[in-house]
Structure 1
Amino acid sequence: MVPILSNKNSSLGNVLVIGGCGFLGHHIVKILHSSYNCTISVIDLHTSRNRLPESDGVKYFNGDITSIESILPIFLQTKPEIVIHTASPTLTGASRELYRLVNVEGTRCVIEACQKVSVTALIYTSSASIISDNVTDLINADEKWPIIPAKSQSEYYSETKAHFLIVRLTPITAQAEALVLTANRSASHPSLLTCSLRPAGIFGEGDVQLIPNMLKVYENNKTGFQLGDNCNLFDFTYVGNVAQAHCLAAVALKATSSLSTTPLSHEKVDGESFIITNDQPIYFWDFARAVWRAAGSEKSTQHVWEISKDLGMLIGGIMEWTMWCMGKVPSLTRRQVRYSCMTRYFDCSKAKRLLGYRPDVTLREGIERSVRWFEDQKTSKFSKNEKYG
């Protein structure tokens, strides 16, 4: 049994997208609007960005998920049957405290609100990184791989004004996922079905990390450097495919809720996590060069200066220490070196089998769409500056 329904022919009812004005969230809203029969509402801290036109019928609400008093009235007003929870601070701008507040305490509030208004399905955006210690290679990793405990996590940093604060953010995401999955068919609220999606390396239009950073390297004419030997396969996933996976999970949970019996363990969607990728592992620097080619680069790899991992770690350590003493941000860190040299790809067979997931947009097309979007944004900003002086 695979509980998959057709898109337009089956109603999802009232859908509430939390974080629906964010990078991933607004892509989910677009796909729901264009491909599914449902009424869409959005909660976000700031709803002035990434909005669909009012004529499209999407309702937007400013709300703080860390406060049940803030979001419960919105739940009561919109009466969602399905909640898709994507809200999370960006890694580059959040302290550990804010990340924990939003991802853990915020998720608690979301679950509480779901339970109070009898929501049918809750889909949570987790991360494939929760099974990574950011040191060990991941080779065709799947959902059976263990979640890495906090004591084994040493990565992801947030910038502060004077130094780098090493924070363990990935375990926080794992805690939030655990809250969501534990809420599935709980004794006190057995009608609430939940699942989590673990996307790997999201990129696309509206990206605030991966693509803009790679484009910055190109614009600064630094594409002649390469960390490592480029023999490490990596998973990058186009945001539209990740958004579609969330919609498919909503369809599957809605279908499960109408069953008179509980699915067998190998058929279950509720209470489960799903890795989401483009199903196209690529060598790390091949992806970067594809981005640069889409931006107009015509350089070959003949004159690329390859910096070994060991040398890169040495340089990164020196730069971190030097810039820390000066109260500045280093242009190269040991984290970046490790990340660029890791093998890190996953198996998304479970999502394909149980959700009917297939990545509709290839890596090449996703890269071209992404770079085109950023170029359009730059042109639009330039035109406005020209117009208003």
Structure 2
Amino acid sequence: MSSSDSVQSLGKIVVIGGCGFLGHHIVNLIVSRHPQTSVSVLDVRTTNNRHASSTVSYYDSDITDYDAVLELFRRIRPDAVIHTASPTAFLPNEIHEKVNIGGTKNLLKAAQEVGVKAFVYTSSASVSLDPKVDVVNADETWPYVTGSRQPEYYTTTKAFAEQAVLAANRTPSTFLTAAIRPAGIFGEGDVQILPPMVTAYRRGQTKFQVGDNNNLFEFTYVENIAHAHLLALSALLTTHRMAPTVPLDSERVDGEAFFITNGQPVYFWDFARAVWHEAGDRLPIQKVWKLQVDFAFVVGAILEWAFWALGKKPNLTRQQVRYSTMPKYYNIDKAKKRLGYEATVDLKEGVRRGVQYILEREKQDSEKKAQ
């Protein structure tokens, strides 16, 4: 744990997207560790994932509306901003561009206008992901992969937004920025990793795997990512207090990006089976059928075509085949050295918490329907 954990107040913090999956975990962690901090949550809708603390305020706001954002920032006068808001990857390209790029630039401009000291951006580990290149111990020196080389337009917009955030560092000199790049985020409230895996268990699909399961993959529990955001924020605020002294290049946090993982890369299907086991699956490994990658790729192509005609998305796609069989893990030494980062919750406990959250929600929904 960082020594910053003993600080009662970080000042006035605005969490953009603070009612979302990662955002509300960050809010919870701020309230827990820094109880005297004033937290303002800005989100398109603030009805979900609200914290009961009197130190947290909620504002419905659209970050693509610069005037509205500026008006709120002038009213709140925040010391720091944590920007987690982003549309899901499945929405149209124009929404990604409008929110991820345009919205981020609006936030930067408004923050600079009102004298914000620190700005932490939630980027993505995928900003350096080339689908044709295995990701083996990747670090922050790997280049951005955007445009025609990047099939996911969502990822391109996240990369451009990160570049804008880092370029804004020290403009003015009192405005400090950093970016956190989470990899494979999962946990209570996620919709992209654990729920589909639990659904696969419900459908009896745990008897299949694609490939030989020899590819290390990175999954990161959400609270660890929230922890990294607070470490970055504390470091930026500390650097601000030290001005005009500038940290050594080997120690700097401002103007820098950081990969964040659990530091526990695992074989892809081992993680899936850990999720299934927590959900109740007891299928012996000897009964698992291994689908060859080339065969699964052809099946995925056929399913994509057939489901496209029906206006639906299949359970198996060519992209899923590629991502579930490629190595994808990162080097987090930079975050360890400069942020003092270490995962606070290990992978096994993260899986337990995340799956139990889903099972409890299912139980509650079932009881409501029975009433």
Is the counterpart of residue 203 in structure 1 residue 202 in structure 2? no
How far has the Cα of 1:135 moved from its partner? 2.6
- 1:31 maps to 29
Q: In structure 2, how many angstroms separate the alpha carbons of the residues matched to 1:57 and 1:272?
A: 30
How far has the Cα of 1:31 moved from its partner? 0.2
Judge conservation of contact 1:193–1:270 (CA < 8 Å) in 2.
Answer: yes
- 117, 120, 125: which one aligns with 1:120: 117
- 130, 133, 140: which one aligns with 1:133: 130
- 2:46 maps to 47
User: CA offsets, 1:267-321, max 9 Å, x none?
Assistant: 1100000000000000000000000010111111101111111111111111112
- 2:240 maps to 257
User: CA offsets, 1:298-353, max 9 Å, x none?
Assistant: 11110111111111111111111222234332221100100110100001111111
How far has the Cα of 1:382 moved from its partner? 1.4
- 2:207 maps to 224
For 2:169, give the aligned amino acid: N
How far has the Cα of 1:57 moved from its partner? 2.5
For 2:360, give the aligned amino acid: D
- 159, 183, 200: which one aligns with 1:174: 159
- 3, 6, 10: which one aligns with 2:4: 6
Is the counterpart of residue 83 in structure 1 residue 68 in structure 2? no
How many residues align structurally? Answer: 368
Judge conservation of contact 1:5–1:252 (CA < 8 Å) in 2.
Answer: no
Q: In structure 2, how many angstroms separate the alpha carbons of the residues matched to 1:9 and 1:181?
A: 26
Q: In structure 1, how many angstroms separate the alpha carbons of the residues matched to 2:312 and 2:20?
A: 29
User: CA offsets, 1:131-162, max 9 Å, x none?
Assistant: 1112311111010111113121124xxxxxxx
Q: In structure 1, how many angstroms separate the alpha carbons of the residues matched to 2:113 and 2:301?
A: 50
User: CA offsets, 1:234-279, max 9 Å, x none?
Assistant: 0000000000100111100000001131111111100000000000
Q: In structure 2, how many angstroms separate the alpha carbons of the residues matched to 1:192 and 1:146?
A: 25
Judge conservation of contact 1:280–1:363 (CA < 8 Å) in 2.
Answer: yes
| Structure 2 residues not aligned, in runs of 5+ | none
Judge conservation of contact 2:97–2:157 (CA < 8 Å) in 1.
Answer: yes
Is the counterpart of residue 294 in structure 1 residue 278 in structure 2? yes
Partner SS state of residue 287, structure 2:
coil
Is the counterpart of residue 150 in structure 1 residue 135 in structure 2? no
- Over the aligned positions, Cα root-mean-square deviation in angstroms equals 1.2
Judge conservation of contact 2:217–2:266 (CA < 8 Å) in 1.
Answer: yes
Is the counterpart of residue 99 in structure 1 residue 82 in structure 2? no
TM-score normalized with structure 2 length: 0.97
Partner SS state of residue 324, structure 1:
helix
Q: In structure 1, how many angstroms separate the alpha carbons of the residues matched to 2:310 and 2:276?
A: 32
For 2:157, give the aligned amino acid: I
Q: In structure 1, how many angstroms separate the alpha carbons of the residues matched to 2:287 and 2:209?
A: 11
Q: In structure 1, how many angstroms separate the alpha carbons of the residues matched to 2:272 and 2:106?
A: 39
- 2:362 maps to 378
- Aligned runs of 1:306-385 on 2, under 5 Å? 306-385=290-369
For 2:237, give the aligned amino acid: K
User: CA offsets, 1:209-228, max 9 Å, x none?
Assistant: 10001000001111001011
- 268, 289, 295: which one aligns with 1:284: 268
TM-score normalized with structure 1 length: 0.92
Structure 1 residues 30 and 238: alpha-carbon distance in aligned structure 2, compared to 1, 3 A threshold: same
* Structure with the larger helix share: 2
| Structure 1 residues not aligned, in runs of 5+ | 156-167
Judge conservation of contact 1:241–1:278 (CA < 8 Å) in 2.
Answer: yes
Q: In structure 1, how many angstroms separate the alpha carbons of the residues matched to 2:59 and 2:92?
A: 25
Q: In structure 1, how many angstroms separate the alpha carbons of the residues matched to 2:283 and 2:326?
A: 25
Judge conservation of contact 2:146–2:155 (CA < 8 Å) in 1.
Answer: no
Structure 1 residues 77 and 376: alpha-carbon distance in aligned structure 2, compared to 1, 3 A threshold: same
Partner SS state of residue 6, structure 1:
helix
More deviation, 78-87/312-321? 312-321
Identity rate, percent: 48
